[in-house]
Amino acid sequence: IVTFLLGWKDGDGVFLCADSAATSVGLPEGKRSSFGEAQQVDRFAVEERAVKVLELPRAVLVGVCGDVESALDFVVSTSKQLAYTKKPLHEILQYVASQGRIEAPFKLLFGHCVNGEPVLTAFHSQGKHIDDVLPGRVATFGSMPADKKTLAARLVGTVCAHPLAAEARLAATLVA
């Protein structure tokens, strides 16, 4: 079972892409996913039922990978800080990370603007690292095999190099 979160930025904006798989104990509702994978793995059900790219206040997007419950607790706290303070996202992430124990590992990618410029920021719960992803780089998180991460990075490079508008570039590549 593969789970993934991809993020990249080009001159036009920030792009996030994630799967919708969520793991729980018990039986799945169906035997196969939309990709034909078995949804029962040992005693766990892995089903396509999670929304992992969310919109937060102040036009911030976040993509989630890893333990969804722990990640969403962190995202809710971050969302509240975005709504009630004017602090920059990096300061908010540092503050939220310092406020409590993180139950299980997760990674987040935030798409936001700083002084009108698109920024892609990664947060790693283990170590509580906050890093901005450089333009032209692809952030790949999850259990995706290394060869698939390389393929995804090449795909994104193709999308970003195409002369169409950003949305059309992505749609054209995904349809192809």
Q: What is the mean pLDDT of residues 41-67?
A: 84
* CA distances, 68 to each of 24, 99, 103, 157, 164 (Å): 11, 19, 11, 28, 35
Q: Write out pLDDT tens, residues 85-105.
A: 999 999 999 999 999 778 888
- What pLDDT is attached to residue 2? 57
State how far the Cα of 113 lies from the Cα of 155, in Å rounded to an integer. Answer: 24
Residue 49 clears pLDDT 80, i.e. is over it: no
Under 8 Å between Cβ of 40 and 28: yes
Whether 48 has a pLDDT exceeding 90, the answer reads: no
Q: Read off the pLDDT of each residue in 106-129 and give the average, rounded to a whole number.
A: 92
What pLDDT is stored for residue 171 in this prediction? 47
Q: Distance between CA 30 and CA 142 in Å, rounded?
A: 23
Mean pLDDT of 112-127: 92
What percentage of residues in the chain have a pLDDT greater than 90?
34
Residue 150 has pLDDT above 90, yes or no: no
The rounded distance, in Å, linking the Cα atoms of 46 and 26 is 9
Task: Please give the residue that has the higher pLDDT: either 79 or 106.
Answer: 79
Q: Are 76 and 102 in contact (CB under 8 A)?
A: no
pLDDT at 9 over 50: yes
Task: Give the model's pLDDT for residue 176.
Answer: 37
Rounded to two decimals, the pTM is 0.79
Which pLDDT tens digit goes with each residue over 153-172? Answer: 777 666 555 544 555 444 44
Q: Are 53 and 16 in contact (CB under 8 A)?
A: yes
Residue with the bigger pLDDT between 129 and 31: it is 129
Write down the pLDDT at residue 138.
82
Percent helix / strand / coil, the chain, rounded to 5: 30, 35, 35
